[in-house]
Amino acid sequence: MFSRVLGKTLGFVGYTIQYGCIAHCAFEYIGEIVVCSGPSMEPTIVNKDVVFSERMTRHLCKIQKGDIVIAKSLFDPNMNVCKRIIGLEGDKVCMSGPSNLFKTQTYVPKGHVWLEGDNLTNSTDSRSYGPVPYALIRGRVCLKITMTWMMKNPHRHMEKL
């Protein structure tokens, strides 16, 4: 009796570990679903929009200017940010101050990217904290799932970005 219960328990633990490893690999190397919050990417991505962030592009170093990415926050490693890539390493980017009167140019250093939100007046981004290391990029946003659009169009709920 005890050996049968032990055998079933170990079998269950084995399957749980296997499926956990598969799920971990899928989220780490293929992609993940992310709920975006905040106004920094409006009107492209609004508060509570759900997006799919694929990870293969990041691993293959195929991130391009104009891509929207999910990156680890420089200030809180438990938080992610959603921003658009404005510059890659070696690019010259124009930085404007809060009043937009004083514009300066800077170069994106090797191994870094320049990130900005689409809503420039309401976004904390590279204009505030500088270039972001490429290693902090988690994935590239490739699909947006808008909840209000899903309610109006129940058969079509994804928008390619």
> How confident is the chain (161 residues) per 10-residue block, as mean pLDDT?
77 85 81 89 90 84 90 90 94 73 84 93 90 93 73 57 60
Domain with 114 in it? 32-160
What pLDDT was estimated at residue 95? 77
Residue 65's domain is classified under what CATH number?
A: 2.10.109.10
What pLDDT was estimated at residue 96? 66
Query: Is 83 considered catalytic here?
Result: yes
What pLDDT was estimated at residue 21? 86
Q: What is the pTM of this model?
A: 0.76
Query: Is 110 considered catalytic here?
Result: no
Q: Which of these is catalytic: 53, 83, 126, 144? A: 83
Tally of structural domains, the chain: 1
What pLDDT was estimated at residue 115? 95
Q: Which of these is catalytic: 3, 8, 37, 40? A: 40
49 in any annotated domain: yes
1 in any annotated domain: no
What pLDDT was estimated at residue 32? 86
20 in any annotated domain: no
Do 58 and 71 form a contact (C-beta atoms < 8 A)? no
DSSP annotation string for the chain? -HHHHHHHHHHHHHHHHHHHHHHHHIIIIIEEEEE--SSTTTTTS-TT-EEEEESHHHHTT---TT-EEEEE-SS-TT-EEEEEEEE-TT-EEEEE-TTSS-EEEEEPPTTEEEEE-SSGGG--SHHHH--EEGGGEEEEEEEEE-HHHHHH-TT---EE-
What pLDDT was estimated at residue 76? 87
